[in-house]
């Protein structure tokens, strides 16, 4: 979800206004997935690198995240949406961490859409944490160290039951992964769009999905 800061700057607004506008795009994306029967939506919300931003901006982002979760709790329940959070959640402020845990538990039985927020997340960190988790698990059971397999690592990711993404969309014209789902996206199709995230409307998201489906159909026909 890239481009919030640039969106605000082009309008002469504080950066936080761009993040607030971005919340609307997140809600629109969630609704498109719900209506089109897409089972999993993962939004790169806050990276590990984002902790290096100015403290005032980070504090405001955490307050915005807490408000968003509090306001969306009822919507998630009404639409049978399960909330998940991926990342080093222990780094989140206690108030935000508690709200994340609360909504995760409250929506655990929902099945219409899995909404995953990558919070305090980094793809390399996830791989490192998975390796360390696997090693700690073996040590706790008294099992000697052994070479780790792909299956071992996959089983210790932040959300091992969530399937790899079919499509990754990067907004704002940037053509890079920015340390997002590095393990999971090995075979993922990529779409790069010029829209800044706050301008990425439900209609634009639907158009990207239609283009992706058309591309897959054409590829299948050629095969």
Q: What is the mean pLDDT of residues 55-61?
A: 93
50 catalytic per annotation = yes
Q: Which of the following is catalytic: 2, 4, 114, 195?
A: 2
Residue 222 confidence (pLDDT) above 90: no
**Backbone phi, then psi, for 36, in 5-degree steps?**
-95, 5
Residue 198 confidence (pLDDT) above 70: yes
Angle between helices 15-36 and 202-222 (to 10 degrees): 50
Position 223 scores a pLDDT of 63
Count of beta carbons in the 10 Å neighbourhood of residue 178: 13
Q: What percent of the chain has pLDDT over 70?
A: 99
161 catalytic per annotation = no
Q: Which of the following is catalytic: 50, 79, 110, 179?
A: 50
List of domains in the chain: 4-122+165-222 (3.40.1180.10)
Contact criterion met (CB below 8 Å) for 211 and 42: no
DSSP bridge partners of 50: none
Count of beta carbons in the 10 Å neighbourhood of residue 61: 19
Entry pTM: 0.92
Count of beta carbons in the 10 Å neighbourhood of residue 111: 10
Q: What is the mean pLDDT of residues 135-155?
A: 92
Q: 71: which 2 tokens?
A: 């306001």
Dihedral sign computed on CA atoms, order 187, 210, 116, 170: positive
Q: How confident is the model at residue 217 (pLDDT cuts 50, 70, 90)?
A: confident
User: Closest Cα to residue 205, out of 167, 177, 174?
Assistant: 167
User: Closest Cα to residue 178, out of 123, 125, 136, 134?
Assistant: 123
Could you read off the pLDDT of 66-98 as tens digits, one per residue? 999 999 999 999 999 999 999 999 999 999 999
Could you read off the pLDDT of 41-54 as tens digits, one per residue? 999 999 999 999 99
Position 31 scores a pLDDT of 93
């Amino acid at each position: 979800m890239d481009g919030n800061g640039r969106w605000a700057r082009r309008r002469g607004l504080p950066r936080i206004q761009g993040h607030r506008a971005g919340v609307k795009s997140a809600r629109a994306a969630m609704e498109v997935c719900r209506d089109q029967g897409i089972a999993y939506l993962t939004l790169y919300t806050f990276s590990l690198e984002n902790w290096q931003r100015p403290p005032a901006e980070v504090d405001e982002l955490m307050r915005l995240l807490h408000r968003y979760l509090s306001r969306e709790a009822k919507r998630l329940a009404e639409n049978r949406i399960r909330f998940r959070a991926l990342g080093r959640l222990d780094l989140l402020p206690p108030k935000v961490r508690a709200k994340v845990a609360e909504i995760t538990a409250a929506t655990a039985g929902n099945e219409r859409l899995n909404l995953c927020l990558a919070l305090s997340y980094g793809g390399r960190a996830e791989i490192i944490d998975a390796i360390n988790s696997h090693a700690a698990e073996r040590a706790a059971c008294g099992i000697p160290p052994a070479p780790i397999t792909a299956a071992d690592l996959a089983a210790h990711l932040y959300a091992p039951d969530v399937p790899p993404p079919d499509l990754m969309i990067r907004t704002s014209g940037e053509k890079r992964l920015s340390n997002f789902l590095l393990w999971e996206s090995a075979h993922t199709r990529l779409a790069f769009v010029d829209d800044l995230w706050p301008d990425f409307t439900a209609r634009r998201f639907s158009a990207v999905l239609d283009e992706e489906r058309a591309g897959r159909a054409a590829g299948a026909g050629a095969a």
